[in-house]
Chain A
Amino acid sequence: MTMMTASEDNAAKSAKRFSVDFKTLGPALALLILCIIGFLLNPAFVSEGNLTNLLTRSAFIGIIAVGATFVITAGGIDLSVGSMAAAISGVMIMNNAVETLGTGVPTVLLGCGLAILLGIGAGWINGALTTKGKIEAFIVTLGTMGIYRSLVTYFADGGTLSLNFEIRGTYRPVYYDSFLGLPFPVWVFIGVAICGWLLLNRTAFGRYCTAIGSNEAVAKYSAINVDRVKTLTYVIQGLCVSFATIIYVPRLGSASASTGVLWELEAIAAVIIGGTVLKGGYGRIGGTILGALILTTIGNILNFTDVISNYLNGTMQGLIIIVAVLLQRSDWKLGKSGKS
């Protein structure tokens, strides 16, 4: 533990750009190896269609994981994101404005606006309960995880909520259409990633997150408004969940109790694979994005081969996640020795 904090301080002191690039190498290497394995198993892996599918699929977890990077960097954790996504999609689908606004763009925009408000609100609840309520983030978000999940079950009467057929026609292009060869969800993913990177690496807010995650007490003495910054990280997380939901809903146009199950763990896994430290104090957006890509690629490759028994999919996923983090951690040490 002490070793880790020491090296973090080291990293913070050393030239920022260099260390960021160097540490990205671990997860990038893992992703590259995965892609080579995929190609060797089946050359169709690198077909344009499959790569587009991969990127689009990564967008949900990726966008949520960008938010999770802030929460985790500031020493928190959010377990409620999967349930939150399900609840928000449920509300979006139940949007009753069809009668007054018709089935056109205004209704869809209203739904998206609603989603963003809900995401911010849900994130704020998590943040306020953690900071003002002084409850551990793990417990708060475990609680809201159950609440949001059961809300969607309740909305759907235990079944599945489905989007009005005409609205689906209006809304569908948001998931299925492309701009400059890349589907819209990928553009949203890129946009969120760039904003996240700037916010974490180029603003005072980003530095506050890192400072609070390293040592909350010291941050407080340094006149940082700890409660506000921490609450804001949850609000950012909520906002990211809304963006993910907005591009998720047009895919199948439905929400049920099984929507977004285990997304929270996938998002956290993506963050950690990417090199962010789970106990906080060090975050990397670039790594998070690679982490999300790695997770999706594993699932994709397993679907591309029948060499491994279906029943062992979980084993392969677990192994690859551990190896990816191992690669990244050993690289970390290398970086340190290179600098000292």
Chain B
Amino acid sequence: MLMKKALGMMAVTGMLAFASSAVAQDKIKIGVSYPTPTHAWAAGMNWHAEQAEKRLEKLYPDVDLILVNSPDPGAQASALEDLVSVHQIDALVVLPFESEPLTDPVLNVKKSGAWITVVDRGLSQPGIEDLYVAGNNPELGRVSAQYMKGRLKDGDNIVVLRGIPTVIDNERFDAFMAEIEGSGINVLDHKHANWNRDDGFEVMQDFLSRFPDIDAVWAQDDDIAIGVVAALKQAGRDGDGMFVVGGAGMKETIKSIMDGDELIPVDVLYPPAMIATAMDATVNAFKSNGPVAGRYILGATLITRENAENYYFPDSPF
């Protein structure tokens, strides 16, 4: 009796194992893990990930994309374990919550034999990922400064509103200052506005009270730029060729660039849609005959009235 039962069990488990390996073989499973959206940019990323999932699964019926978002680094680490043990993924696209705590969990996924694509935030050890997809923070600063140099002349004054004090903010700011140097444009002062509309409004109000002559504003970010514009309009200083350069690619900003707004004439791209780029490239690693591994650094495109339409997604929350 016992023997028979045990044999039966073995047969069943053997069949199950066979079945699951068969399923795993005919579907390419790709896990996509990123932080739970709690701010507009991340919400945009979530939207673009969902769009890419629909599009890619329709294009390749044998590709299964599994999107998971996690509210903190610990939860993301657990989510990665589940993707390996439950879904047995063939590839992972991951935007790490924080570099340090997620390096080991991603390394474990790598050890399971999966392809690894890291998005935006690098891991703290080199060589784990097969593909790295990211925006370009120094380039964002440089492109913004180049636009300023094109519009302003020697002796003109600008003010700078920065983000939250972080590496990202420093990279953007340092590159901007390096590019501005020697152009004769005066940077009157720079203050942190924390990538936030309210802070942008208040810091700009104070800049306006403090400096009677400001010719342009580098707000670095579209949310800050919205606060800056409100402050300029309140003080009645939005005329005389004054302009504001933001960054990221918020849909409202892009819309107003398309409509020919003079106060925010351009925007510099740091798109949440980079998650879709990463998903595309990861699928290509299985489908394309071209090599995919390497580093894919997006350009910080200058969005003007001419090309704005290509970057406008009216349904995205960002």
Query: What is the bound-complex CA distance between A333 and B184, given in angstroms?
Result: 57
A306-B189 contact given A158-B46, A252-B201, A300-B206, CB 8 Å threshold? yes
Question: Which residues of chain A are near B198, meaning CB under 8 Å?
Answer: 251-252, 258-259
**Is B40 in contact with A252, judged by CB distance below 8 angstroms?**
no
Q: Does B289 contact A (CB under 8 A)?
A: no
Query: What is the bound-complex CA distance between A313 and B210, given in angstroms?
Result: 18
Query: What is the bound-complex CA distance between A160 and B165, given in angstroms?
Result: 22
Q: Does A44 contact B (CB under 8 A)?
A: yes
A303-B165 contact given A158-B42, A159-B44, A159-B317, CB 8 Å threshold? no
Nearest to B190 among chain A residues (CB) is A310
Question: Which residues of chain B are near A258, meaning CB under 8 Å?
Answer: 39, 196, 198
**Is B165 in contact with A252, judged by CB distance below 8 angstroms?**
no
**Is A42 in contact with B210, judged by CB distance below 8 angstroms?**
yes
Q: Does B226 contact A (CB under 8 A)?
A: yes
> Which A residues, 216 to 248, have Cβ-Cβ distances below 8 Å to chain B?
none
A158-B190 contact given A49-B235, A251-B230, A310-B165, CB 8 Å threshold? no
| Interface residues in B, total, Cβ within 8 A | 35
Query: What is the bound-complex CA distance between A45 and B211, given in angstroms?
Result: 11
Q: Does A304 contact B (CB under 8 A)?
A: yes
| Interface residues in A, total, Cβ within 8 A | 31
Give B193-225 as 1s and 0s: 1 = Cβ < 8 Å from A's Cβ atoms: 000111001110111111000000000000100
Nearest to B195 among chain A residues (CB) is A258
What distance in Å separates the Cβ of A108 from its nearest Cβ neighbour in chain B? Answer: 18
> Which A residues, 244 to 299, have Cβ-Cβ distances below 8 Å to chain B?
251-252, 254, 256-259, 299
Interface SS of B by simple majority: helix
Query: What is the bound-complex CA distance between A259 and B38, given in angstroms?
Result: 12
Q: Does B318 contact A (CB under 8 A)?
A: yes
**Is B192 in contact with A310, judged by CB distance below 8 angstroms?**
yes
Give A8-48 as 1s and 0s: 1 = Cβ < 8 Å from B's Cβ atoms: 00000000000000000000000000000000001011010
What distance in Å separates the Cβ of B234 from its nearest Cβ neighbour in chain A? Answer: 6
Q: Does B58 contact A (CB under 8 A)?
A: no
**Is A47 in contact with B209, judged by CB distance below 8 angstroms?**
yes
**Is B205 in contact with A53, judged by CB distance below 8 angstroms?**
yes
Question: Which residues of chain A are near B63, meaning CB under 8 Å?
Answer: none
Contacting B209 at CB < 8 Å: which of A44, A157, A254? A44
Query: What is the bound-complex CA distance between A45 and B206, given in angstroms?
Result: 9
Nearest to A183 among chain B residues (CB) is B234
Where the two chains meet, the residues of A that have a C-beta atom closer than 8 Å to any C-beta of B are 42, 44-45, 47, 49-50, 53, 57, 153, 156-160, 162, 176, 251-252, 254, 256-259, 299-300, 303-304, 306, 310-311, 313
**6 nearest interchain CB pairs?**
A158-B43, A159-B317, A158-B37, A303-B206, A50-B209, A159-B40
